Amino acid sequence: MPNQTIDLMMNRKSIRKYKPDVPTDEIIHTIVKAGLQAPFASQLCSLIITREADKHPFNAPIAFYFLLDFHRMELIMKKRGWENVSCNLWIYHLGMQDVTLAGENMVIAAESLGLGSCYIGMTPFAAKQIAKRHKLPKRVFPVVQLAMGYPDEDKPPRPRYPLEFSLFENEYPEFTDEQINEAMKVMDDGYLAQDYYRNPDIMIPLQGEREEIFDYDNYSWTEHISRKWGQWIPSPDKLLKQFKECEFDLTE
């Protein structure tokens, strides 16, 4: 059955090449309002918008920082004569729900208005620098950046796991080798067909003594993502330090 909203969601992809045109304030405000209308746990999401294309990822005309914002909540609680006693881990958990739901709403709203976007996932590792640059008060943490603008490319959507590898009836299954191999094949064949890593020349270097056996004829998503999880960020210390700098000590 035709459905414009579902079609929009099924065809969504990250955009890394933008036209210089800047969306109007009316369009920006509409997108943000749609984002903030998402279901929320405690309304712990606020945003910073920047319009310096030369400083943005992919030179996008606008970019947003999604903020886990407990500062506003503490101001409200103070007005009511309360002090927070909830642990930071719980606040983080609820705040992440608010941020991600608002972000997804904004992405889809932007798509419906002809804009594209791309998330920048390493944002938390620069939290202290971002907080200083944008004068964030304590108890406000930048979770993710979202580049946005009018697309100057038209690539197909990225592959996803087969549904049977992601949707389970009643209980989590024990996967067979055949199911795992099929899921890997779907992902790898899809990315190879798009030359996703070949064209931008992206291959994560190996660390240690592991021998390189891949080239761009067989290097695809499952090897790429395995190299990330198998080599990067073995310690939480740097990330925990960034949270602590913003007065979110997740270890307390």
d(C-alpha 219, C-alpha 225), whole Å = 11
Residue whose C-alpha is closest to residue 91's, from 38, 144, 43, 145: 43
| Confidence band of 2 (pLDDT split at 50, 70, 90) | confident
- Residues 27-47: tens digit of each pLDDT: 999 999 999 999 998 999 999
Whole-model pTM? 0.95
Return the structure tokens found at 13: 């992809």
| Domain spans of the chain, in order of start | 4-154, 163-231
**4-154 maps to which CATH number?**
3.40.109.10
Is 128 within 8 Å of 91 (Cβ atoms)? no
Q: What DSSP string describes 90-158?
A: HHHHHHHHHHHHHHHHHHHHHHHTT-EEEEETTGGGGHHHHHHHTTPPTTEEEEEEEEEE-BS--PPPP
- Residues 42-70: tens digit of each pLDDT: 999 999 999 999 999 999 999 999 999 99
Alpha helices in the chain (DSSP H): 4-10, 25-36, 71-79, 88-112, 127-133, 177-193, 221-231, 237-245
